[in-house]
Every structure is written in C-alpha cells, then in structure tokens.
C-alpha cells in the first residue's frame, strides 16, 4: 500500500489532531514563566495552524475550539477564562478552519502554504478582536482600536514571525517525509 494514500485516513487525522491538542497544552509551559514572552510567541497558535494543514478544517477547528478552554481548566486559569480563553477559542477555531479550508483549495506549493497561513492569521485575529470587543463590551472595559492593534498585531509580532517561519517548514518537511498530503 502506498504510504501517501494512507495519510488522509480518519485515524491519522484523529492522531494528528490529538498530537496538536497536546502541543497546545504543553507548548505554553515553555514560555509560561514570563507571561509577556508567552503572549508574544503565541505558542498555542502553532499547533492549531499546523493541524489545519495536516487534518483539514473540521479537525483543526475542533482542536482550536477546545484547546484554550481545556488549558484554562487544567491549569487553573492560564489563560484566564474570561475574556482571554473565550476569545482565543474563537480565534484558534478560526485559524484551524481557515488554514484547512484554504489549504484544501489549491495546489500544494510553498506559495499556497503562505496564502493559507496568512489568510488564517488575519481572519483569526479579526475574529479575536470582534469577540474581545463583544466580551469586554459586556463590562466596563472598552476595547479600542489601539487595544485591538496592540493585542492582535503589535505585541504578537514575534509569534507572527515564528508562525511564518515554522509552519511552512513543518508542512514541507512532513510532506517530504510523506507523513502529510
């Protein structure tokens, strides 16, 4: 049996999704000692974006939706449930959904990896901003354009750079090793 033909099985997608979810729970521990570094590097974003390329939109959206809430519950509130983990749930779900959908629609080239990745990153950050504005709008804390820009982009520049470097390298390496379609 051809190895490439077995890469898209439900068991493989389930396994890769479980690995990505585990990485979402573990990677923040590497940066958790210094919260500013952790929030700047966005360690939970990497496995969800990768899951979109490996498992498709449905599995990746599920991993993105579950990861922040599960991590918050397991670690006693890191990230804090309200508003951070709730907003991240929508953001990461969008990352997984969009990266998987865009990846499925084109030729599997390096350029298409970047197209899917950048589209997912921008869409996810916009969703994060909308959800955060709604959640903070329920209380007394306003969510300004400056806060959106800082939280979604300016403070996340190191994480954005890491995502733009690591995700394409990982996708290409896994495809070369015939571990991904």
- 3-state SS string over the chain? CCCHHHCCCHHHHHHHHHHHHHHHHHHHHHHCCCHHHHHHHCCCHHHHHHHHHHHCHHHHHHHHHHHHHHHHHHCCCCCCHHHHHHHHHHHHHHHHHHHHHHHHCCCCCHHHHHHHHHHHHHHHHHHHHHHHHHHHHCCCCCCCHHHHHHHHHHCCHHHHHHHHHHHHHHHHHHHHCCCCC
Give all domains of the chain, ordered by start, each with its CATH number: 4-176 (1.10.1760.20)
Q: How far is 86 from 91, CA to CA, in rounded Å?
A: 9
**Tens-binned pLDDT, residue by residue, of the chain (181 aa):** 444 455 679 999 999 999 999 999 999 998 877 777 877 899 999 999 999 999 999 999 999 999 999 999 999 988 999 999 999 999 999 999 999 999 999 999 999 999 999 999 999 999 999 999 999 988 788 899 999 999 999 999 999 999 999 999 999 999 999 999 8
Q: What is the distance between the alpha carbons of residues 8 and 170, in angstroms, rounded to a whole number?
A: 17
pLDDT value for 171: 98
- pLDDT on residue 158: 94
Output the pTM of the full model. Answer: 0.93
Nearest Cα to Cα of residue 162 among 42, 60, 7: 42
């Amino acid at each position: 049996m051809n190895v490439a033909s077995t890469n898209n099985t439900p068991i493989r997608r389930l396994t890769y999704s479980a690995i990505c979810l585990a990485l979402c729970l573990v990677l923040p521990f590497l940066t958790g000692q210094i919260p500013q570094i952790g929030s700047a590097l966005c360690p939970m974003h990497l496995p969800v974006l990768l899951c979109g390329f490996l498992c498709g939109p449905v599995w990746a959206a599920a991993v993105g939706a579950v990861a922040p809430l599960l991590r918050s519950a397991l670690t006693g509130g890191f990230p804090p449930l309200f508003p951070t983990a709730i907003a991240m749930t929508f953001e990461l779900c969008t990352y997984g959904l969009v990266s998987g959908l865009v990846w499925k629609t084109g030729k599997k080239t390096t350029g298409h990896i970047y197209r899917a990745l950048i589209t997912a990153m921008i869409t996810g950050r916009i969703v994060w901003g909308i959800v955060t504005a709604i959640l903070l709008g329920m209380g007394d804390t306003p969510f300004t354009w400056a806060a959106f820009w800082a939280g979604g982009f300016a403070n996340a520049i190191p994480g954005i750079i890491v995502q733009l470097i690591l995700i394409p390298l990982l996708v290409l390496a896994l495809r070369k090793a015939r571990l991904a379609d």
